[in-house]
Amino acid sequence: MTSEAEFVAALLASIPSDPRLEVPAGDDAAVLRPPAGRRTVVTVDMLMEGVDFILGHDCPPEAVGRKSLAVNLSDLAAMAARPEAAVVAVALPRQHGDTLGHGIQRGIAALAAEFGVALAGGDTNSWDGPLVVSVTALGSVAPGAAWRRDGAKVGDLLVVTGPCGGSLLGRHLAVRPRCREAAAIAAAYRVHAAIDVSDGLSLDTARMMASSGLAAVLDLAAIPIHADAVRMATLPGDGRSALEHALGDGEDFELVLALPPDEARRLVVESPSLADGAAFTIIGEVVEGAGLFAGTATGERVPLEVRGFIHALDTPNA
């Protein structure tokens, strides 16, 4: 059996040095040198076994580690923030916790290296429960330049950075945070509002509209549907169309952006030149009012049911 001290020592030995860390991982706390003239952006996500992943042959601990950092980087992308550093807290099952922990570290380290993230430390615990991983990521952005959910304006067009739906066929473990795309867009286009699609395209778009105090009319025929959504719709007993999967499955981690019409159209035309070969699509328009609507061929607006993943909390009986 490995002691916590031995386990932590092995983890610390695997973390590369980084000039952004004045005091690196291993002390009571790390000291980060923030980039000059920029604001710090902080986000945190917690992943739980049985909710966000199921460990097994198709989901090794390396995939869990990668995803735990990737979903945080997606939040930074939604704010147009450059990733800088991350801290990791894990609650490891006592049984096989050592193996799980090292696998998680390998997954985190690989993605951190890919996106230039300094690993600044964290915390480890063991218990008799399932695996829990919590990552806090820090990014930076120029003063006043962070994208927000509440800035959409009437007349804006909504652009999504990629196809949605069917993520549970494996893409939910292979998240591609749109950090590079966000940086390229922020440098060349005027974005009024943004959000990442974590819980569902319709749900997250509705959240952005609610924050902006406006409504959106979606062109359902324009929604980019991932091939995985088409596959899921054909599974026995599924009962949902590919479009329904695209609107409600979640864990696509694409970005939804609200831009002035001329900027949105230019972005769609120029998107093939951006990182990862992303092809962007205009999916709707921001209008006065509240809620989410589907546009019809005759110009009518039909209320659209908002679907997506929401964590439920039981309310005790009064």
pLDDT of residue 33: 94
Entry pTM:
0.94
Record: fold of 4-141: 60s Ribosomal Protein L30; Chain: A; (3.30.1330)
Round to whole Å and give the CA distance between 175 and 79.
Answer: 17
Tokens coding 197:
């699609």
pLDDT of residue 9: 85
Question: 201 or 273, which is more confident?
Answer: 201
Mean pLDDT, the chain, whole residue set: 94
Minimal CA–CA distance to 86: which of 64, 102, 61, 66?
66
In the chain, what are the domain boundaries? 4-141, 157-303
Round to whole Å and give the CA distance between 70 and 82.
Answer: 13
Lowest-pLDDT range of 72-76, 136-140, 222-226, 299-303: 299-303
Do 146 and 82 touch, CB atoms closer than 8 A? no
pLDDT digits (tens, 9 = 90+) for 198-224: 999 999 999 999 999 999 999 999 999
pLDDT digits (tens, 9 = 90+) for 260-269: 999 999 999 9
pLDDT of residue 15: 83
pLDDT of residue 275: 64
Average pLDDT value for residue range 54-82:
97
Minimal CA–CA distance to 191: which of 252, 235, 145, 222?
145
pLDDT digits (tens, 9 = 90+) for 230-242: 999 999 999 999 9
pLDDT of residue 185: 96
Average pLDDT value for residue range 86-101:
94
Tokens coding 139:
């990014």
Average pLDDT value for residue range 66-75:
98
Q: How confident is the model at residue 10 (pLDDT cuts 50, 70, 90)?
A: confident
E-assigned strands of the chain? 21-23, 31-32, 39-48, 82-93, 118-127, 132-141, 157-160, 193-196, 215-218, 255-259, 281-287, 291-295, 301-303
Please check whether the two domains, 4-141 and 157-303, share a CATH topology: no
CATH code for the domain defined by 157-303 = 3.90.650.10
What is Dmax (Cα atoms) for the chain?
69
pLDDT of residue 312: 66
Residue 148 has pLDDT above 90, yes or no: yes
Residue 289 has pLDDT above 90, yes or no: yes
Output DSSP code: residue 68: H
Q: How confident is the model at residue 1 (pLDDT cuts 50, 70, 90)?
A: low
